């Protein structure tokens, strides 16, 4: 039986602002597009949180039995320093400052991104297209938008005409709820914006000035595409004019996704995306984690512990567990003590999962596995509610402990179902890996305890030389043994 046919997955759609029963355009198949990283610097943990949320969505859809085409792009051109089509291209700027080729910048940070997502156990997307690989298609889309009358050229740059689009009964603002008049009212007249008819118009093509290194020929000028265009082009190219899920961080809702809708809708006349999903922000010190403000932690620093906001190093699965303990639409505060709490929970869960293998089946079942399993699905079907799923997994931990102590029993069939369900949710859906405790102090404690045992055996055999050797060599390492009536204890200096 294919599970998805009976499944009642509901997704919160940012477009309708409600939870909707998920029904893909093509039965059994899902097309999902997620805006990928702009590769001008190392991804920070906030970026990773958003991508991890969609990795979980991807994993759950696969688990349900859907055939998923997951497209997550690499933005390697066109993303300017601010949302008002102002400033330099982020990659160009980095290349200029470091006196290297823009493609060296792109290569360096794409590699960093791939290393990071591998460390954090992400599934690779089905397609990872780049903006620079789709310049021809972007130029074609601009021509199409101009043909429809919603774009105009000024001094070699081309802008989308938001007013003209709306006057024809379309709704720029449909996703963000922003009113055009508010946009006009709220937007300062910025330098360089004078080319635009209206401040809310956005660039489809920008003429490159002399210092702009990344440039391509076009009918309008040597220049580069606007940032919003690449996602309309690559999503429609690989997923069709109308596809199922489009994701990204909350901060992309406006203007990026609003512009994507206007561009795609202009070309196809269709609603491009059926379910818009937005993941919430990771905060540090009460502020959005962001590269531009310097308020960030790098995912690699978490693994080494090399950041002053961290009390120690943490395993990637602990960070994954920490993220999954919050709903993807909730704000999450990053803090070292919060990670420490997650670490305890994660290892408790892993201990229980590992203990499952040693449990023997009984004649009867004292726990309703089927009902519990349904609760796990209900949680995930309620807009991917991972914190509730985790609460159910901790109920399972309690049951496993009772099974260990023979205070509960499960029949062979129920035990198999219980194991399979736990494994599926913990490893396949949440994407955790079964990491052994990384806390080296625990390991040292274990080794010293072992040496104390061997020393006691030596003493029992009256092998004073060996017993003294163990004591003295430990002392030279700063570990002092104290013999007392209760046995031998130790202290580490």
Query: Could you list the residues that contact ligand AMP (CB under 6 A)?
Result: 35, 37-38, 46-47, 49-50, 75, 248-249, 251-252, 281-282, 288-290
Q: CA 173 → CA 42, 256, 257, 271, distances in Å?
A: 32, 11, 10, 14
Q: CA 448 → CA 149, 475, 476, distances in Å?
A: 78, 11, 13
Q: What is the DSSP string of 356-391?
A: GGGPPP-SS-SS-HHHHHHHHHHHHHBT--HHHHHH
Q: Does 39 bind Zn ion (CB under 5 A)?
A: no
Nearer to Zn ion, 79 or 392 (CB): 79
Nearer to ligand AMP, 284 or 369 (CB): 284
Smallest separation, CB 437 to Zn ion (Å): 39
Nearer to ligand AMP, 70 or 418 (CB): 70
Nearer to ligand AMP, 254 or 427 (CB): 254
225 binds, among Zn ion, ligand AMP, none (CB under 5 to 8 A by kind): none
CA distance 357 to 377: 23
Smallest separation, CB 123 to ligand AMP (Å): 17
Residue bearing tokens 């490159």: 208
Smallest separation, CB 429 to ligand AMP (Å): 21
Smallest separation, CB 81 to ligand AMP (Å): 11
The DSSP secondary-structure symbol of 5 reads G
Of the ranges 29-37, 83-91, 139-147, 325-333, which one interacts with Zn ion (CB under 5 A)?
A: 29-37
47 binds, among ligand AMP, Zn ion, none (CB under 5 to 8 A by kind): ligand AMP
8 A C-beta contact, residue 245 and residue 35: no
Q: Does 273 bind Zn ion (CB under 5 A)?
A: no
CA distance 477 to 493: 9
37 binds, among ligand AMP, Zn ion, none (CB under 5 to 8 A by kind): ligand AMP
* Burial of 482: CB neighbours in 10 Å, binned 0-12, 13-18, 19+: exposed
Which residue in the set 11, 32, 34, 35 belongs to the binding site for Zn ion (CB under 5 A)?
A: 35
Report the chain's terminal Cα–Cα distance, integer Å. 61
**Residue, CB closest to ligand AMP:** 249
Of the ranges 30-38, 158-166, 463-471, 472-480, which one interacts with Zn ion (CB under 5 A)?
A: 30-38
Q: Does 233 bind Zn ion (CB under 5 A)?
A: no
46 binds, among Zn ion, ligand AMP, none (CB under 5 to 8 A by kind): ligand AMP
What is the b/e burial string over 301-310, where b = at least 16 CB atoms within 10 angstroms of the residue's CB? Answer: bbbeeeeeeb
CA distance 110 to 114: 6
231 binds, among ligand AMP, Zn ion, none (CB under 5 to 8 A by kind): Zn ion
Q: Which two tokens stand for residue 206?
A: 């920008």
- Angle of CA points 55, 57, 58, to nearest 5°: 65
- Residues lying near Zn ion in the complex (CB under 5 A) are found at 35, 231
């Amino acid at each position: 039986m294919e599970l998805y046919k009976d499944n009642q997955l509901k997704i919160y759609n940012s477009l309708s602002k409600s939870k909707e029963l998920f029904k893909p355009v093509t039965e059994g198949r899902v097309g999902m597009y997620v805006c990928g990283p702009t590769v001008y610097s190392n991804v920070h943990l906030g970026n990773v949180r958003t991508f991890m949320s969609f990795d979980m969505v991807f994993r759950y859809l696969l688990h349900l039995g859907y055939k998923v085409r997951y497209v997550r792009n690499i933005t390697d051109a066109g993303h300017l320093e601010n949302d008002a089509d102002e400033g330099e291209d982020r990659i160009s700027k980095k290349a200029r400052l470091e006196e290297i080729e823009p493609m060296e910048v792109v290569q360096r940070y794409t590699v960093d991104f791939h290393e990071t997502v591998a460390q954090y156990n992400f599934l690779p997307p089905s397609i990872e297209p780049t903006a620079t690989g789709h310049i021809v298609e972007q130029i074609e889309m601009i021509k199409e938008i101009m043909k429809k009358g919603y774009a105009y050229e000024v001094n070699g740059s081309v802008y989308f005409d938001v007013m003209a689009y709306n006057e024809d009964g379309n709704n720029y603002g449909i996703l963000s709820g922003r009113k055009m008049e508010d946009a006009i009212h709220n937007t300062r007249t910025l330098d360089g914006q004078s080319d635009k008819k209206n401040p809310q118009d956005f660039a489809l093509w920008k003429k490159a000035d002399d210092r702009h290194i990344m440039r391509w020929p076009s009918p309008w000028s040597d220049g580069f595409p606007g940032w919003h265009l690449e996602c309309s082009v690559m999503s429609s190219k690989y997923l069709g004019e109308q596809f199922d899920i489009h994701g990204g961080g909350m901060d992309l809702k406006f203007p990026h996704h609003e512009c994507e809708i206007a561009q795609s809708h202009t070309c196809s006349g269709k609603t491009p995306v059926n379910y818009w999903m937005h993941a919430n922000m990771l905060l540090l010190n009460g502020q959005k984690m962001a590269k531009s403000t310097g308020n960030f932690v790098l995912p690699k620093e978490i693994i080494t512990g090399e950041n002053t906001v961290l009390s120690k190093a943490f395993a990637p699965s602990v960070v994954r567990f920490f993220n999954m303990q919050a709903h993807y639409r909730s704000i999450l505060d990053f803090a070292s003590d919060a990670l420490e709490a997650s670490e305890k929970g994660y290892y408790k869960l892993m201990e229980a999962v590992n203990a499952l293998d040693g449990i023997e089946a009984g004649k009867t079942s004292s726990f309703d596995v089927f009902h519990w399993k349904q609760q796990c699905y209900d949680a995930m079907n309620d807009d991917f509610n991972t914190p509730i799923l985790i609460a159910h997994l901790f109920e399972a931990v309690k049951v496993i402990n009772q099974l260990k102590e023979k205070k509960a029993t499960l029949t062979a069939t129920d035990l198999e179902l219980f194991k399979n369900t736990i494994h599926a949710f913990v490893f396949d859906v949440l994407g955790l890996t079964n990491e052994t405790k990384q806390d080296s102090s625990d390991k040292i404690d274990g080794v010293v305890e072992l040496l104390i045992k061997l020393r006691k055996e030596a003493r029992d055999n009256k092998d004073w030389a060996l017993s003294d050797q163990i004591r003295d060599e430990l002392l030279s390492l700063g570990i002092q043994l104290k013999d007392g009536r209760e046995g031998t204890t130790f202290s580490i200096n």
